[in-house]
Structure 1
Amino acid sequence: MPIEEDFTEALRTTLLTFEPPNTPSLVQAGVRNGRRRRRRRATVVGVSGAAVLALVGLGAAAVPGLLSVGRTTHHTIAGPAASATTGAATASATPKPTFTGSLPADRALAILTALLPTGLTHSIPPGSGRSGQLWVDDGHGKSLFEVHVSRQTSTTAIRSHVFASATTLADGTLIQSRQAPPGTDPGHETVNVLHPDGLYITIMQWGAPSRNAPSTRSTPVLTLAQLRTIATSSQWQ
């Protein structure tokens, strides 16, 4: 038998013995396989959801702690800042000059009147303007006071002329006091004070209501020691 006939006969025999597939069985198997896959995915999703919920619960418990730690860290950082602020406040509390040039007469007179001993009356002489003059009376006649306050940028000339024979305090402050010579106006006294930073204070008193009037008092309103105490007060800063 030729080869072609043999091949044809074999193919015919194979087709006669071939049985078609069981389609319903295949469908049922596919359905069962699909259900198994859905169950597996559901299981995985359930486990994943539980894990997410567990993490959320853990986060709810952990976040307050984290916030607390954050707050603690914030306080720790704020500490040095507060110290720096305190340091800045302390530094700013260091006394600094409150004026340059000449202190206005009204401010100088306000300080002078605040430093006067109790029991004295005082008033501004008419027409005194900005001269820094004040009448002071202890009940035995008016005395003219005059005050001048300035901050000098150069003190060389003042030191050599006004404070040539001055008393020097421990902090370098110079004090020069002058009283009227015997036989002259007994009420005229002057105190000059020069601080190391250039603060220059002069306070004078006369035994009369004006500079050129004859003395109307036998003793000055303030002693020289009282005048020095006023002139060296820290209130002039």
Structure 2
Amino acid sequence: MPIEEDFTEALRTTLKTFEPPNAATLLQSCVRNGRRRRRRRVAAVTLSGAAVLALVGTGAAGVPGLLSDGRTADRTLPGPAASTTTGSASTTAKPTFTGTLPADRALATLTELLPTGLTHSSPPGGRQSGQLWVDDGHGKSLLEVHVSRQTSTASIRGHVFAGTSPSADGTLIASRQAPPGTEPGHAAVDVLHPDGLYVTIMLWQAPGQNAPSTRTTPILTPAQLRAIATSLRWQ
């Protein structure tokens, strides 16, 4: 018999003896095998993540890098960059305020700006109204301060500073003085900065606004009153 016929006959014999596998059993085996492979992949990913976290936790900066072929590199990974900030460079910005500066804070700044040789004390309710008694030994005067930061300055510009020319930096300064013979004599300086900071300093030649004058000359000169009102300490 030719070899082709022998091969064909062998195939027929093999097919007759072949029994197809049980479909249900085959399906269950495939499912088990798939689940087994999935668990292995999850375990491998989990182990890899844990290894990375452990590397970070122990300080990756001190662990040599690995090359693609598994060899270690001859360098170490750089650590966190050192801070270049020095104590002199890291200055704290001066705190500011919005709205009206509390009277006690305004009075604290006012007393620091007073000329030497003056004593000061607080009149009744003065710490709430921004009032201070000042004395040079020749009669007590009432000094009052109000400081605020305005968000809209149109009204103030139109009334208090009407006709006033701003300085080079945009600051408006207006000085007021009571007409001669007014009891008690008083003067005031108003300052409005470009950022809305508004300072008013008022001085009476008496212990109170409605009290008779106890002095013939103001305890502060116009220049001293202006210097206090325009001080940058109010910022």
Instruction: Compute the TM-score of the two structures, normalised by the length of structure 2.
Output: 0.62
- 1:117 aligned onto 2:120: no
Residue by residue, what CA displacement relative to the aligned partner does 1:68-105 show, whole Å, maximum 9, x if unpaired? 9648x54xx625xx35x57xx66x74556x11111110
Aligned 1:9-158 pairs, distance under 5 A: 70=76, 73-74=78-79, 78=81, 82-83=83-84, 93=92, 95=94, 98-128=96-126, 130-158=128-156
Tell me the CA shift for residue 129 of structure 1: 5.0
Contact 1:186 1:220 in 2 (8 A): no
In the alignment, the residues of structure 1 paired with residue 142 and residue 165 of structure 2 have an alpha-carbon distance, to the nearest angstrom, of 26
Partner of 1:38: none
**Aligned residue identity for 2:101:** L
Opposite residue 235 of structure 1, the aligned amino acid is R
Task: Report the number of matched residues.
Answer: 163
Go from structure 1 to structure 2 and tell me whether the alpha carbon gap of 1:78 and 1:222 turns closer, same or farther (over 3 Å shift): same
SS at match of 1:118: coil
1:201 correspondence with 2:204:
no
**Where does structure 2 lack aligned partners over 5 or more consecutive residues?**
1-63, 65-71
State the match for 2:164 in structure 1.
166
Tell me what 2:234 maps to. Answer: 236
Give the letter aligned to residue 197 of structure 1. Answer: D
- Conserved in 2, the CA contact under 8 Å of 1:165 and 1:176? no
Q: Residue 78 and residue 128 in structure 1: after superposition, are their counterparts in 2 closer, same or farther (change >3 A)?
A: same
SS of the residue corresponding to residue 130 of structure 1 reads helix
Distance 1:167 1:206, change over 3 A: farther
Deviates most, 164-173 or 187-196: 164-173
Q: After TM superposition, give the deviation of residue 154 of structure 1 in Å.
A: 0.3
What is the CA distance between 1:149 and its match in structure 2?
0.5
Q: Give the corresponding residue for 1:178.
A: 176
Q: Identity rate of aligned residues, in percent?
A: 69
Alpha carbons of structure 1 residues 129 and 108: separation in structure 2 relative to 1, 3 Å: closer
- The DSSP-based 3-state class of the residue aligned with 2:81 is helix
Query: Partners in 2 of 1:100 and 1:235 — Cα distance?
Result: 15
- In 2: Cα distance, 1:127 partner to 1:186 partner: 20
SS in structure 2 at match of 1:165? coil
Which segment is superposed worse, 200-209 or 170-179?
170-179
Name the CA distance, whole Å, in 2 between partners of 1:69 and 1:224: 73
* SS of 1:170 mapped into structure 2: coil
Aligned-partner Cα distance in 2 for 1:129–1:189 = 21
SS in 2 for 1:235: helix
Post-superposition CA distance 1:159-184 (Å, at most 9, x none): 00001132422211110001122333
For structure 1, the 5+ residue unaligned runs are 1-62
Native 8 Å contact 1:186 1:207 kept in 2: yes
Change (3 A) 1:69 1:101: same
Q: Give the greater-gyration-radius structure (CA).
A: 1
| CA–CA distance in structure 2, aligned partners of residues 186 and 165 of structure 1 | 27
TM-score by length of 1: 0.62
Corresponding residue for residue 20 of structure 1: none
How has the CA–CA distance of structure 1 residues 101 and 140 changed in structure 2, closer, same or farther, with 3 Å as cutoff?
same
Corresponding residue SS for 1:192 = strand
Q: Which residue of 1 aligns with 2:220?
A: 222
Q: Any idea what SS the aligned residue of 1:168 has?
A: coil
